[in-house]
């Protein structure tokens, strides 16, 4: 496995070098809107400590990330009236990972609405803010 790259986009977000639309954060995790969403309200949850992916994260880190993912999922379902939630996590290139910092996708879902393809196209900031604000308002 390759070493952790401290210049990956999520590490740079954590250092304040790149902006993000923050949903919530605590001592161990940060949740924010995915700028290339595969569905309305698509969020990401990352640990604040470096970890390339699930394969090199410790149990405490994984527990913190999943607790925040659940909190965001519950708020997104409530705020957006979602029928369900898809939680995705990819490991290494062969597993579909693109950004090599552990992250979990939390994607609200509605019956009959497929996920959008990952095209690399960024969503409009005002759309991301609309979903972010709704999810934040519904947090416990």
Question: Which is nearest to 88 in space by CA: 136, 42, 26?
Answer: 42
Alpha helix ranges (H) inside the chain: 9-14, 59-80, 125-138
**From 21, 42, 103, 105, active-site residue:** 103
Q: What is the pLDDT of residue 47?
A: 98
Nearest to 116 by CA among 86, 91, 79, 74: 86
User: What is the pLDDT tens value at each position of the chain, 140 positions in all?
Assistant: 679 999 999 999 999 999 999 999 999 999 999 999 999 999 999 999 999 999 999 999 999 999 999 999 999 999 999 999 999 999 999 999 999 999 999 999 999 999 999 898 999 999 999 999 999 999 98
Res 74: pLDDT: 98
- Give the strand order in the sheet containing 43-47: 22-25, 29-33, 43-47, 104-109, 84-88
CATH of domain 9-138: 3.30.428.10
Phi, psi of 129 (to 5 degrees): -65, -40
Do residues 31 and 108 touch, judged by C-beta distance below 8 A?
no
Q: Active-site residue 103, yes or no?
A: yes
Q: What is the DSSP letter of 109?
A: E
pLDDT value of residue 1: 63
């Amino acid at each position: 496995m390759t070493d952790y790259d401290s210049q990956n986009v999520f590490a740079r977000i954590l250092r304040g070098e790149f902006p993000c639309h923050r949903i919530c954060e605590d001592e161990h995790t940060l949740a924010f809107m995915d700028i290339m969403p595969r569905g309305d309200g698509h969020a990401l949850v990352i640990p604040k400590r470096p970890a390339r992916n699930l394969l090199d994260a410790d149990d405490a880190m994984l527990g913190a990330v999943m607790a925040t993912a659940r909190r965001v999922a519950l708020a997104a379902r409530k705020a957006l009236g979602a029928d369900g939630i898809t939680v995705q996590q990819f490991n290494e290139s062969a597993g579909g990972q693109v950004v090599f910092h552990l992250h979990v996708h939390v994607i609200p879902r509605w019956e009959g609405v497929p996920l959008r393809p990952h095209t690399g196209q960024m969503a409009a900031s005002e759309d991301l803010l609309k979903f972010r604000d709704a999810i934040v308002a519904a947090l416990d």
